[in-house]
Amino acid sequence: MSRYTNLLLLVTATPGALLAQSTRPNIVYIMTDDHTAQMMSCYDSRFVETPNLDRIAADGVRFTHSYVANSLSGPSRACMLTGKHSHKNGFTNNEHGIFDGSQQTMPKLLQAAGYETALIGKWHLVSTPTGFNHWEILPAQGDYYNPVFIHQDGTRAVDSGYVTRIITDKALAWLDQRVPSDASGGTAAATARPFALFIHHKACHRAWLPALDDLTLYEDTTFPLPPEFHDDYAGRQAAARTEMEIGKDMDIVYDTKMFVSPDETPRTRLSGSYQNMIGRLSKDERARYDAFYVPLSRQFYDEWGTDYNFLPRQSQSSVDGSRDAKLLEWKYQRYMRDYAKVVHALDQEVGRVLDYLRDHGLLDNTLVVYTSDQGFYMGEHGWFDKRFMYEESLSTPLVMRLPKGLERRGIIDEMVQNIDYAPTFLELAGAPVPADIQGVSLLPLLKGKAATKADRHRISHWRDAIYYHYYEYPAEHDVRRHYGIRTDRYKLIHFYGHDVNAWELYDLRNDPHEMHNLYGQPGMEALQRQLHRRLELLQIQYDDPQR
């Protein structure tokens, strides 16, 4: 019998223990999909404003070196749930992966420690969720408009509305069942049993379909081009072979929504999928949607023609003033505007959760975590999507509002990873952290002046490098398999298998945009040996057989 099963039997056998544990903090974990730090104003003020997400950082902490172990939705979620790298939890890629729900997970361990657990929203791990007292999930990626939800009894039903708001509605409805009314008609602070609520949004996943109330937002905004927008990928053969360029690979119908009607719009590889997505709208909703996008589409095809072809590779389409360059930048602006609209709705819904916790007396005894399953490219290197170990997709936003007793505020610079969430929640809950969990608890970083001598010792011996491994190839976007190490200054990456065997080395202090591969350059020999050795030690530490 497993350790968490023994704990569960112990807790359920002693009802009085639950009352004694009522002061333990609740956990509200909000995770989005593909929301990158560049599109969150407490990290980057160039593009959008996210006042509610910024509230979490302003009242708590903001991590500036937060990373994932595998920049892909399903694998990233598996790392979070287990506290282990992909090769240990068994879910390495979306193409062929099925998460083994029978294994030890952080929600199961929280249950064993007396917590009530719930999951609402995106799951994306193929198997049925385990370790949750209640769950309602989207099938696969789910839909933005009038989405289907799978319920715990196995039934499926369509919920009317916009998915970001619906997920919040369901999360707050679950909380309502746990917060009893007091005699005066108000609400009591909480039930005796602490809870861990996982709110997993579909936003900001492709194809960035806005809420109907937000269709006109950002239409007057011209977003600045990233410095490396016109990257020619010199010296980086894996980057040059990928299929995630805005110009060449972003679908004119599916992604930029240039659709008039089946008869008047060029047929693209993904146009059928797009029609299915907007086909979920009701007649009145579709009229509102078309009133915005159809005139834009007609204007586009009047200017560019209906025999639209994809742009050539980035290096051939970046000549200033050329037709291709203008069209490339047009696609970038449409992408940014729709993505920003999706972020706006998300920020509003995070505000609703914060307001609920405040109004019901829960905020001071709840750890609120906001993060994403990975970062995303907003035109950096001319790209959209994620997957690579380059900074924009390796990094992920992470902000926390802390319960009483955790006094740290402001910026936290230590290097953290999504395998650290599981041991953090377990230590906060007073639950044992199993020895096979590979992440480390962030709790010592959160205590501030209350940190003990042992906490300060843990901080002084904090990790100085993180390990990354991406597996999904061949697959969509053609990003080759790779693994690597990131230190405070350098990054070493090995692309391997099939048609590539290449190393890349970056000095992040002098080359923050990772444009200049230093591997094999004169004078790099000693640094390469040092980083190879540190990479090997991390592979030994995490028992990755790739070494």
| pLDDT tens string 526-537 | 999 999 999 999
Question: Where does the pLDDT of residue 313 fall: very low under 50, low under 70, confident under 90, or very high at 90 and above?
Answer: low
Residue 289: CB atoms within 10 Å: 18
Confidence at residue 162, expressed as pLDDT on a 0 to 100 scale: 98
**pLDDT at position 19 over 90:** no
* Domain positions in the chain: 3-209+342-463, 212-337, 466-541
Q: Is the pLDDT of residue 8 over 50?
A: no
Query: What mean pLDDT is predicted for residues 5-23?
Result: 38
Question: What pTM was estimated for this model as a whole?
Answer: 0.93
Both structure tokens of 459? 């901080």
What is the mean predicted confidence (pLDDT) over 15-22? 34
Helix (H, G, I), strand (E, B) or coil at 157: strand
Name residue 30's beta-bridge partners: 199, 370
DSSP lists the bridge partners of residue 91 as none
Min mean pLDDT across 10-24, 145-159, 251-265 is at: 10-24
CATH class of 466-541: alpha beta
Q: Which strands sit side by side in the sheet containing 502-507, from one edge to the other?
A: 465-470, 482-487, 490-495, 502-507
Banded pLDDT at 306 (limits 50, 70, 90) = confident
The pLDDT tens digits of the residues spanning 148-173 come to: 999 999 999 999 999 999 999 999 99
Note the pLDDT tens digit of each residue in 59-114. 999 999 999 999 999 999 999 999 999 999 999 999 988 999 999 999 999 999 99
Average pLDDT for 423-429: 98
Phi, psi of 482 (to 5 degrees): -160, 160
DSSP 86: H
In sequence order, what are the residues at sequence separation of 6 or more whose Cβ sits closer than 8 angstroms to the Cβ of residue 439? 83, 84, 417, 418, 419, 420, 421, 422, 423, 424
**CATH of segment(s) 3-209+342-463:** 3.40.720.10
| Band of pLDDT at residue 305, cut at 50, 70 and 90 | confident
C-beta contacts of 504-509 below 8 A and 24+ residues apart: 504/236, 504/238, 505/531, 508/391
> Is pLDDT of 316 > 50?
no
- What mean pLDDT is reported for the chain? 92
Rounded CA separation 11/17 (Å): 7
DSSP string, 348-362: HHHHHHHHHHHHTT-
